Chains A and B, each alone.
Chain A
Amino acid sequence: MLDTFEILTTSGVVLWSKTYSSISPAIINSLITNVFIEEKTLPGVGIADDVSAANNPPYKYDQHTVKWTTVKELGIIFVAVYRSLLHLSWIDKLVDNIKTLFVDLYGDQLKKPHTTVVECHFDDYFDQQVRKLEKTALNQDTRTAESSAFLEEAPPSISESIDEPPPLPGLLSRGQSKNNHRDLTYDSTPGMTPDTSRPSTPAGHLLTAKGGPGGKGSRRARKAANAPIYASSGDEAYSKKGRAARSAAPKKGRKWDTDGLADEDSDTPLDYSAPANGATSGEEEGSNRPGAVEAVDQATWGSKTGKGQFVLKDLDDQVHSILASADVKKENSAAASTGLVGSSLSAIEGLFRNVVGGKTLTKADLEKAMKGMEDHLLNKNVAREAAVRLCEGVERELIGVKTASFESVQAKIQTAMESSLRKILTPTSSLDLLREIDAVTSPSTLSLQKRRPYVISIVGVNGVGKSTNLSKICFFLLQNKYKVLVVACDTFRSGAVEQLAVHVRNLTELTAREGGLVSLYQKGYGKDAANVAKDAVSYAASEVYDVVLIDTAGRRHNDQRLMSSLEKFAKFASPDKILMVGEALVGTDSVAQARNFNEAFGSGRGLDGFIISKCDTVGDMVGTLVSMVHATNVPVLFVGVGQHYSDLRNLSVKWAVGKLLSSN
């Protein structure tokens, strides 16, 4: 069963909510931070408009699954939370229907400025929707069993209909309710087909327990009488269905059309088969199609019998008309711009609007400019994957937005890209390394923590400058009068330990006057790096060092054998910070590097920051910054800008964004 349904604004105010069993607010908060703000799943997804809940990836958090959808124009989010154990096939449909209803009923109130109060009496509408969809799911479930034998002859076709024009003439003639559900059929994810083998079994359990409403039993009986063979054993049917769904995949579309046409004037059993087929091809569709048929029946029955559950008949009608009109509107907008005169007029208006502003952006408007922006980013050495995703995010954000007065599409994209880049590069929390070190090495007397050295380890691909950047950090720490232990864990490459020894000697001489103290911990070559690191950390603790800097061997990020040893290393040395050095010169590979290293430390441990080295060698082309951060959501801690020990910088987001967007 549904746990909670909430309607909230992007500014964080809950407009309406219905709670069946109370859940921690942390669930929705984490949805907002992870999906909308940090965009860990898909960039720009939070502000994309008109996406059915089925197309938004469900968010899982602590045994709960969250389904959501947004309305960009009004800045509201619809969230449904339920236990991950349950398999509620009708949730997507519910979220979408509620969205349509709520926007239609209270859209005007939501547009009012300077207020957060929305007067809404939405409970009835919501209850009605839940009841209806639940019932539909229940019906569909029984029907699935009854009619699945049909599949041998009439294979499921709906999965095909996703990309096709309206294929349901049979259902079309059935009256207004057809509109509710047809559109959603196209929205449903193509990835549904693999799921066929388990359509709504858990849901069936739960829902059958409730018992069907009185009127329906008779109808089912009637249907069973009409088609007695189909009501055969469910178990057998299930297995058949799975097979049928798989085997008959290629020629679905045609089948459906002929079926549908035949249905129109022939008798009922065939007619019922159509929705039943739909039901098996994916749980979401299944819940839609029969719903359409059901709704009409229910309305007429309600007027005849006037049973308890049809008290809300007026509400039903209103809901239906709202849903139907919304669908009609959608269709109209799709079929808009007819005629030569109309199109040329709109083209002229578009040109005019492009100069003056106030143009509502469409995908076509943006296409060319977005291509230009993508090329621009690629020229700045942003990896293709990151560039494409960034542009998609910006496009999703901009479609449907009006440009301001005297603002061209170009300028709009520029500003949107700027804010999007700024958002990506800005770290979620402060990156003050010195204060973190202080907090660990000299904990306040009130806290129960014991003093220990702060451990930083540095990883990366061969030759990106791990040792060099380590010594730069070391220099920075020494200037701040920390006692630093440098650990040589590159026990593989000959000369690596000696290289560090030279750095340590130089640093000692450079900072001797300022009172820094640095020494090298090394165990020679051929030892296990993780053990050396562990010994070094305990040595540092006993000798009262402040910071331990661990250098590791360079490794290729797609070499499983070398990468797997990192997990052990992270466990043994348990570093406070794992920094990855990436060079600004690397191009497309940066994404894979960042991702593989981020995942190499086992579950629950990732990178804590990047050091982007050799930034002085690339000029404006600092795209690697974006590629790496974009792939992993790990912030850039330092930027290497030269050959000297002092050439280490904090990342200035403004500087980076400026460089990325500058044109020359």
Chain B
Amino acid sequence: MSTLTEWLQALMSPSPTALAIALLLALTIPIFLHSFVFRASGLTTLPSILLIGPSGSGKTSLLTLFERRTQPAQTHTSQSPISVECDLPVGTTANSDKYRSVNDPTNLVHKRFLLIDTPGHGKLRHHALDTLTNPQNLRGIIFLVDSATLSASDEGLRQTADYLHDVLLTLQKRTESSSKAAKNLKEIPLLIAANKMDLFTALPAALVKSSLEAEISKVRVSRSKGLLDSGIGMEDEEKDEWLGEVGSKEFKFTQMEEFDVLIEVVGGNVSGGEGPVTEKWWKWISERL
């Protein structure tokens, strides 16, 4: 008992050791807590560009090409998302650097950004849609399509249009979503990169655009006619799941501008006989940074 009181006295008395210990604790605990709680999140997030598209459209190839510059690595079906730090190539200036002086030393440092690759397999698309609903400094989306499989009545066209429809619908509804990051996303540019232009059967970019638009019109009609999802009771209010302008007969990508989704279709190829053709895609990216 006496030892306890002695101890307490020693602790409470304004002795230099007690003071030192108290000071030490007072200083270190916040630091410790901070490092513990904020360990996971990085300090700064680089601007990011999201790569999405159906399986086999060349997302991972494009990613490795942008990282390695000269030629893409060999790739297989992805199972997990990956993000890679890329530099803008020499000769392109990021939009935010447009008004810098030519002699500004910061120009010598390449503008860096994160390129996020997502798996395109049907069962794994939630990775991509999660990134859309909870974006981290997202500056643009590249939707890759395999332009050689987009001819009418091709299964590829239907799959691609389905996926694109889902992505656009998610973007359209981002203002209703609960996540704050998605709401803050004011304007979101989307590049439909028509890949594999080197192939003989590839459609030109203009045709890719029109066939996708036509197919999305069909998707949205059949979705509206389809059955309700299970779990939606009769009392729930009818949710608006219509993509684009309500009442319009044909879907056009320009209809998405109303929701601040700016869509462009640009052709190119990641691999091929005469090497990759990606200058236009780089230009698009540089304008978003």
Number of A-B contacts (CB under 8 A): 148
Q: How far, in whole Å, are A505 and B115 apart by their CA atoms in the complex?
A: 59
In the assembled complex, A75 has its CB within 8 A of some CB on chain B: yes
- CB distance B85 to A114 under 8 Å? yes
Would you give the 0/1 interface string for B110-126, flagging 1 where the beta carbon is closer than 8 Å to chain A? 00001001010111101
User: Least Cβ distance of B122 to chain A in Å?
Assistant: 4
The chain B residue sitting closest to A424, CB to CB, is B123
- CB distance B84 to A438 under 8 Å? no
- CB distance B121 to A434 under 8 Å? no
- CB distance B121 to A428 under 8 Å? yes
In the assembled complex, A11 has its CB within 8 A of some CB on chain B: yes
Q: How far, in whole Å, are A639 and B231 apart by their CA atoms in the complex?
A: 10
- CB distance B226 to A405 under 8 Å? no
- CB distance B67 to A432 under 8 Å? no
Contacting residue for B67 out of A38, A75, A117, CB 8 A: A117
Which residues of A sit under 8 angstroms from B63, Cβ to Cβ?
A: 13, 116
Which among B229, B230, B232 has the highest number of chain A CB atoms within 10 Å? B230
In the assembled complex, A443 has its CB within 8 A of some CB on chain B: yes
- CB distance B231 to A33 under 8 Å? no
User: Least Cβ distance of A88 to chain B in Å?
Assistant: 22
- CB distance B227 to A638 under 8 Å? yes
Partner-contacting stretch, out of B9-17, B22-30, B217-225: B217-225
Q: How far, in whole Å, are A423 and B80 apart by their CA atoms in the complex?
A: 13
In the assembled complex, A649 has its CB within 8 A of some CB on chain B: yes
User: Least Cβ distance of B248 to chain A in Å?
Assistant: 19
Q: How far, in whole Å, are A289 and B36 apart by their CA atoms in the complex?
A: 49
- CB distance B79 to A46 under 8 Å? yes
In the assembled complex, A430 has its CB within 8 A of some CB on chain B: yes
Which residues of A sit under 8 angstroms from B121, Cβ to Cβ?
A: 33, 37, 428
User: Least Cβ distance of B156 to chain A in Å?
Assistant: 11
Q: How far, in whole Å, are A14 and B37 apart by their CA atoms in the complex?
A: 36
In the assembled complex, B134 has its CB within 8 A of some CB on chain A: no
Q: How far, in whole Å, are A479 and B222 apart by their CA atoms in the complex?
A: 12
In the assembled complex, A220 has its CB within 8 A of some CB on chain B: no
Which residues of B sit under 8 angstroms from A480, Cβ to Cβ?
A: 225
Contacting residue for B79 out of A12, A615, A655, CB 8 A: A12
Q: How far, in whole Å, are A641 and B229 apart by their CA atoms in the complex?
A: 11
In the assembled complex, A300 has its CB within 8 A of some CB on chain B: no
Residues of chain A from 416 to 433 with CB closer than 8 A to chain B in the complex? 422-423, 426-430, 432-433
In the assembled complex, B206 has its CB within 8 A of some CB on chain A: no
Partner-contacting stretch, out of B69-77, B92-100, B271-279: B69-77
Which residues of A sit under 8 angstroms from B123, Cβ to Cβ?
A: 37-38, 423, 426-428
Which residues of A sit under 8 angstroms from B80, Cβ to Cβ?
A: 10-11, 75
In the assembled complex, A476 has its CB within 8 A of some CB on chain B: yes
- CB distance A434 to B225 under 8 Å? yes
Q: How far, in whole Å, are A447 and B151 apart by their CA atoms in the complex?
A: 9
Which residues of B sit under 8 angstroms from A429, Cβ to Cβ?
A: 122, 159
Q: How far, in whole Å, are A434 and B220 apart by their CA atoms in the complex?
A: 11
Q: How large is the interface on A (under 10, 10 to 19, 20 to 34, 35 or more residues)?
A: 35 or more
In the assembled complex, B260 has its CB within 8 A of some CB on chain A: no
Q: How far, in whole Å, are A8 and B67 apart by their CA atoms in the complex?
A: 17
- CB distance A12 to B78 under 8 Å? yes
- CB distance A435 to B158 under 8 Å? yes
Which residues of B sit under 8 angstroms from A75, Cβ to Cβ?
A: 80
- CB distance A428 to B122 under 8 Å? yes
- CB distance A11 to B158 under 8 Å? no
In the assembled complex, B64 has its CB within 8 A of some CB on chain A: yes
Number of residues on chain B facing chain A (CB within 8 A):
48
User: Least Cβ distance of B54 to chain A in Å?
Assistant: 10
Q: How far, in whole Å, are A446 and B151 apart by their CA atoms in the complex?
A: 9
Q: How far, in whole Å, are A548 and B190 apart by their CA atoms in the complex?
A: 41
The chain A residue sitting closest to B79, CB to CB, is A10
Q: How far, in whole Å, are A33 and B55 apart by their CA atoms in the complex?
A: 10
- CB distance B230 to A656 under 8 Å? yes
- CB distance B219 to A432 under 8 Å? yes
The chain B residue sitting closest to A428, CB to CB, is B122
Which residues of B sit under 8 angstroms from A433, Cβ to Cβ?
A: 226
Decide yes or no: A12 and B75 within 8 Å by CB, A115-B67, A449-B153 being known contacts: yes
In the assembled complex, A258 has its CB within 8 A of some CB on chain B: no
Q: How far, in whole Å, are A655 and B236 apart by their CA atoms in the complex?
A: 14
User: Least Cβ distance of A18 to chain B in Å?
Assistant: 12
Would you give the 0/1 interface string for B47-79, flagging 1 where the beta carbon is closer than 8 Å to chain A? 000000000000010011001100001111111
In the assembled complex, B83 has its CB within 8 A of some CB on chain A: yes
The chain A residue sitting closest to B112, CB to CB, is A114
The chain A residue sitting closest to B222, CB to CB, is A434
Which among A12, A115, A449 has the highest number of chain B CB atoms within 10 Å? A12
Decide yes or no: A447 and B152 within 8 Å by CB, A430-B159, A650-B226 being known contacts: yes
The chain B residue sitting closest to A641, CB to CB, is B230
Q: How far, in whole Å, are A75 and B80 apart by their CA atoms in the complex?
A: 9
Which residues of A sit under 8 angstroms from B77, Cβ to Cβ?
A: 12, 29, 32-33, 37
Q: How far, in whole Å, are A433 and B225 apart by their CA atoms in the complex?
A: 11
Which residues of B sit under 8 angstroms from A344, Cβ to Cβ?
A: none
Which residues of B sit under 8 angstroms from A446, Cβ to Cβ?
A: 151-153
- CB distance A116 to B152 under 8 Å? no
Which residues of A sit under 8 angstroms from B81, Cβ to Cβ?
A: 11
- CB distance A116 to B73 under 8 Å? yes
The chain A residue sitting closest to B120, CB to CB, is A12
User: Least Cβ distance of A514 to chain B in Å?
Assistant: 12
- CB distance A650 to B230 under 8 Å? yes
Residue contacts A-B, CB under 8 angstroms, 21 given: A10-B78, A12-B77, A12-B117, A13-B63, A13-B75, A14-B74, A29-B76, A33-B77, A37-B77, A37-B79, A116-B63, A116-B64, A405-B36, A426-B123, A428-B122, A430-B159, A432-B162, A435-B219, A446-B151, A650-B229, A655-B230
Extra A-B contacts (13), CB below 8 Å, given A37-B77, A46-B79: A8-B76, A9-B82, A11-B78, A12-B79, A13-B64, A13-B73, A37-B79, A37-B121, A115-B85, A443-B153, A447-B153, A650-B228, A656-B230
**A-B complex: 6 closest residue pairs judged by Cβ atoms:** A655-B231, A12-B78, A447-B153, A11-B82, A652-B229, A649-B230
Binding site for B on A (CB under 8 A): 8-14, 17, 25, 28-29, 32-33, 36-38, 46, 75, 113-117, 404-405, 422-423, 426-430, 432-435, 438-439, 443-444, 446-447, 449, 476, 479-480, 615, 638-639, 641, 648-652, 654-656, 658
Binding site for A on B (CB under 8 A): 36-37, 39-40, 60, 63-64, 67-68, 73-85, 114, 117, 119, 121-124, 126, 151-153, 158-159, 162, 218-219, 222-223, 225-232
